[in-house]
Structure 1
Amino acid sequence: MPPLEYVVTIAGAASLLCGVLTFVAALDQRRRVGRPREQCAVPVTVIIPVTGAAPSLDDLYRRLRHQTCPPTRLLLAVESESDPAYRRAIGLAGASAFPIDVVVAGLACHGTQKCHNLAVALRREDLLEEYVVLADADIAPEPTWLSDLLIRVQRRTADIVTGYRWPMPTAVNLPTMLYAWLDRAVATLPKWDFLGLCWGGSLAARRDTLRAMAAADVLGHAVTDDLALADAARAQSMRVTFRSTVLLPTPAAHTWESLLAFGIRQYQFVRLYRPSAWWLAVVIVAVNLLCSDALVVLAFSSGAAALLLLANGLVMLLICLVRFDISMRCAATAPGPRHEWLFLLMPFAGVLLHNLHAFVLLRSWSCRQVVWGRWTYRLEGLQVVGIRRSGWGARDAAAPGEVDAVIGQ
């Protein structure tokens, strides 16, 4: 066997092993989704940073109303009155069945705008109940979401409980399917408690816990909420639990431009806060890239390469089927499942997937500039040293921390 073919065969076998492990992890996630849920009823403030058109906000409000543990209060944190989300939030508050407070955070100076919005909302302790949940505006939670998050915090078996999203494609295009495939892989990865992982899109804690870890101060200077909160929790020896049962259906649609921007930004965050994990991703992606590209070329002349290529494709197909079943279980209250059958074509897109993944990783090497929506942040390490804004009147911001509406009481 020629040396190149030998190396490619080894890489192909390693890639196959990674695929098998991914399949096993997906099976374990499938087992956890849909388990019987425990109920709890505690006073809870839900904080959601909102910006732009926020088209999913009305649907999220409707879902919050039907929670088995309904929120006592909802805080919607926006950048300014010029933000289109401000009027939508005010309109929602005017017809709310429970108190909604619209917090105008003002322009961020020391961190990213989302983190700044969260920080200002957390400083309004007069609006925080004993329990606090941080959430993203684009999730589509089922009725037991808040109970699932809060039950372990209530029982004091964990200080912080978090979950993850499950992307549900709402557009029929390749960028959306590639995004969903990659993010679903993250969703099914094992997240052991000792790793101390957090996802700010669905996170629950006691108010006193957030105060003890100085969450507001941490977020006020943070680049990303997820890893900044995870580091703060670790520094205070907080017990963080990642609940695999809390898998939140999240509508997803991407163009090539938005897909690349999202992927580069996420890996920049990992490189900034978890450089060792970034390098591990580089190794895994390099092996997969070598395998996918070289196996396709050698499959016409090497029986071993052809078999490995076929085996990798079959494993991807099995992963598709398991993830399809997870989507069906998540879809009882979600906007879907839509276009799930398209994932059956993913085994044929393996080469494109690995090349795209490698491109995003390479682009994330430099972290001196991070683009997030209409904001471009200039960084020195973990410090934001410059912000450029585009879009609606960014300079016309209200006073930081001002509460513009306390409606629906």
Structure 2
Amino acid sequence: MTRPYEVNTRGGPDGLPVALVPRINIQAFCELPKTVESLQAAFTDRRMARAHATVVTGGLPAAIRLYQTQSTPNLLIVETGAAREELLSSLTALAEVCQPETKVVIIGHVNDVILYRELISRGVSEYVVAPVSPLQLIDTIASLYRSEKAVPIGRVIAFVGAKGGVGSSTISHNCGWELSRTRDVETAIVDLDLAFGTAALDFNLDASGGIMEALAQPERVDTQLLDRLLVRLGGKLSLLGGPGGVDKDFVIEAHAVEAVLTSMRASVPLIVVDVPALWAPWVRFTLLHADQVIITAEPELASLRNTRALADMLKLARPNDPPPTVILNQVGIPKRAEIAAADFRKAIGIDLAGAIPFDPQNFGAALNNGKMLLELAPRSKAAEAIRGLSRSLGGDKPAKAAPAGNSFLKKFMMRGKK
């Protein structure tokens, strides 16, 4: 039985990324205004963008009346406060007007394991105890359409700088390197700065341009193509980088980024995206659809202004997600007037994840040697700060596929004949 849970920084109730809901029709019938609000918040979430969903009031009686003259949707969500006998009687009437392929989710107010088992045995897809959170509803819906053979869903962490030159790329590469080692999970770094990306330089590689081939033909992107384009960096770390250079113009479309990241989710458990410090529709799309956003800033006015703008945009557009993670970098540059961390935090309204001290000697040596700072100077204060950020990002366990079952109509009617 699904229970309410607190939204966390990693996704679903078990810390897993919440899957995208497929292109389905959903209709919900609620009794309480609070449930209506939760469903409306869920249906406007980024993970529900492909589904067509509506919410009405009236509960089970309204659903039974409506579907006597209309066909039922792919998914029917019904809230009821009825007790066991009344609920089972009403569901019998609902089953008579439901099409065989329709899945049914019941939002009830009775926390009863026996009732839950009875409903599942009669073909109800899931029974959720009210009150419910938007993210819980999304996870419940997504799990109903997850194939038994579905692979675990990869988590996308997007790193972006509040402005150019704040060190977001360097931090993202170090975090990706660290996570692949400490979490022992396949990790891919995606460098979306096609002209000036530094991922290849940081790992002492020649630019491959693999990301450009994938973005240029999004309709052909699949796991096989990505496996060919990804460059192994040793261990469980891979890179999908840009070609570098300014000899040609690069045009990126949001749907192409979506195709690449969606395909990568199916084969890579952890995806670190290095987003350049510029503003375009595809940049906004990438940030809005990432599972977690890391903003790197410096303790000065321009960074503060831009960090606040980015954070406000993300909090408004992603109400069911945690706020972005903000980390200060290059703290303590000699003779530079800096904004205190406490004042920075107060101005943006978000707690800071940490502060990375200014350390040009170790960062410069790491870049010149094609190594990560965590590898070259693991005991430095800057490395300790980045390691702390990596630990806070954590890792994921494989998602469990939901078991397939017979239709609500078939099982409920068969049960009623016994």
**TM-score between the two structures when normalised by the length of structure 1:** 0.21
Higher fraction of helix = 1
The structure whose RCO (Cα within 8 Å, separation 6+) is larger is: 1
Q: Which has the larger radius of gyration?
A: 2
Q: TM-score, normalised by structure 2?
A: 0.21
